[in-house]
């Protein structure tokens, strides 16, 4: 397959003020941080998403925040990918992950959704799982009946400093993937917390 003219970095989350600073929205936070570091703002709307286009590491990159709610995230990402002819392998998805300890980060490629509804939506919409994921550990509440409250809950005051570190690491990981590829990022960022 020819190399795409564009790459996509999409953060997963839910739109609306009530979801700001919730664990489920850490994907949004990470792409916002990466955009902000490069003097960019999410000032455009298309395909049910807020986005900004950038030139990073000599590549044209779309930063995307789907505004469809988490469980339908794949629709807007698929529309961008189809319209701009972006190969699935050139897409980076940044999202919260309860299977990782709080504060841990893991870069993976071509993996299943692991029960994450946003990632499931992306796989279903693209018809392929050959994209890169930056998984951000938000910890597990311990029991299944507490999961929804956990991911939709806000970070505690004690967690805020660690969250900011995690968001910073996530934006660094995305930049590293663009510059050096996913395998190098895995070697650098996939460490135990």
The strands making up 49-56's β-sheet, listed across from edge to edge, are 44-46, 49-56, 59-66, 6-11, 91-97, 132-137, 105-109
Distance (Å, whole) CA 163 – CA 6? 29
How many CB atoms are closer than 10 A to CB 113? 16
How many CB atoms are closer than 10 A to CB 100? 19
Retrieve residue 92's tokens.
């980076």
Distance (Å, whole) CA 53 – CA 30? 16
Distance (Å, whole) CA 5 – CA 133? 20
DSSP assignment of 94-142: EEEETTS-TT-EEEEES---TT-HHHHHHHHHHT---SEEEEEE----S
Give the residue numbers annotated as catalytic, written as ranges: 24
């Amino acid at each position: 397959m020819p190399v795409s003219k564009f790459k996509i970095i999409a953060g997963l989350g839910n739109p609306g003020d009530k979801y700001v600073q919730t664990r489920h929205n850490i994907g949004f936070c990470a792409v916002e941080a990466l955009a902000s570091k490069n003097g960019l703002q999410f000032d455009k709307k298309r395909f049910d998403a807020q986005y900004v286009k950038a030139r990073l590491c000599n590549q044209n990159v779309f930063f995307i925040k789907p505004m469809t709610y988490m469980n339908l995230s794949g629709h807007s990402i698929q529309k961008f990918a189809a319209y701009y002819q972006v190969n699935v392998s050139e897409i980076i998805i940044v999202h919260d992950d309860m299977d990782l300890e709080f504060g841990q980060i893991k870069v993976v490629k071509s993996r299943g959704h692991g029960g994450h509804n946003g990632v499931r939506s992306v796989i279903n919409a693209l018809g392929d799982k050959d994209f890169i994921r930056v998984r951000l550990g938000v910890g597990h509440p311990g029991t299944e009946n507490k999961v929804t409250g956990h991911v939709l809950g806000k970070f505690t005051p004690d967690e805020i400093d660690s969250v900011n570190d995690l968001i910073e690491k996530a934006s660094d990981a995305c930049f590293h993937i663009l510059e050096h590829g996913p395998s190098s990022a895995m070697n650098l960022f996939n460490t135990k917390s």
